[in-house]
Amino acid sequence: MPHAMENLPAYIGITFVFTTGLTVWLFYRAAHESRRVLGLVLLWLLVQGVAGLSGFYTATNTLPPFFLLMVGLPMLAIATLFITTRGQAFLKGLRIEVLMLLHIVRVPVELVLYWLYLHGAVPELMTFEGRNWDILSGLSAPAVFYFGFVNKRLGRKALLAWNFICLGLLVAIVVNAVLSAPSPFQQFAFSQPNVAIQYFPFVWLPACVVPLALMAHLVSIRQLLHDAVVPNKAQWANSHVASVTN
């Protein structure tokens, strides 16, 4: 194990475990508290957690790199949902207002990345001091939720614009993270590579947190383009606020 990972303060891992749990809980709420969805996500977290603890992802010279499995399999699952009839029905039923709130997890994610950078486990370019402005998505998410669904001052076009912009920020950091990880494809950060994602619990970032954030954007965009998803103020007050806060 790299020296940087051996000496990480416990609060970094604890914060990230909490962040992952919050992400899963919000997606569970967005899926109308489906036990099947929760079970599948928890099973995936268990598999990835075991892989991270076993050192599976520390093999960096394989083609394709093992760590791509963390992202590749969730991406395949998301694509399947978008192209199958049952998958599309599931996506249509997801609660867009909760998917908007899900993006608040990007604030603690960015704090964790910054702490990891300070301890030599990820490069500076993956933080808000480098090329990563993704924290803006998390900071703005509560306002978008409130003005888009409670106060109703943001219309469909504004919600679409926010989702597209934040989707771009997410894709940018994912590309930088992949190209900074030790692998035959590494392009950046050779002096301080992205090693954290090879180890538990940080394997959950590319395996779960990022895919769920990506899915939240894609589903929101799909619903905003094709479905009537923005309720009027009275409808919201009578139904959704109570269910989110319970």
The 10s digit of each residue's pLDDT in 159-196 is 999 999 999 999 999 888 888 877 666 666 566 788 88
**Per-position b or e across 214-245, b if 16+ CB within 10 A of its CB:** bbbbbbbbbbbeeeebbbeeeebeeebeeebe
Say yes or no to pLDDT of 46 above 50: yes
Q: How far is CA 39 from CA 36, 46, 209, in A?
A: 5, 10, 16
More confident residue, 152 or 35: 35
Place of tokens 């692998």: 183
The 10s digit of each residue's pLDDT in 220-230 is 999 999 865 55
Using a CB cutoff of 8 Å and minimum separation of 24, what contacts does 54-63 make? 55/1, 55/198, 57/197, 57/198, 57/199, 57/203, 58/1, 58/198, 58/199, 60/181, 60/182, 60/183, 61/183, 61/184, 63/184
Name the pTM for this structure. 0.87
Output DSSP code: residue 95. -
* Domain parsing of the chain, residue ranges: 3-245
**152/236 Cα distance (integer angstroms):** 10
Q: What is the pLDDT of residue 245?
A: 44
The 10s digit of each residue's pLDDT in 193-210 is 888 888 999 999 999 999
**153/144 Cα distance (integer angstroms):** 9
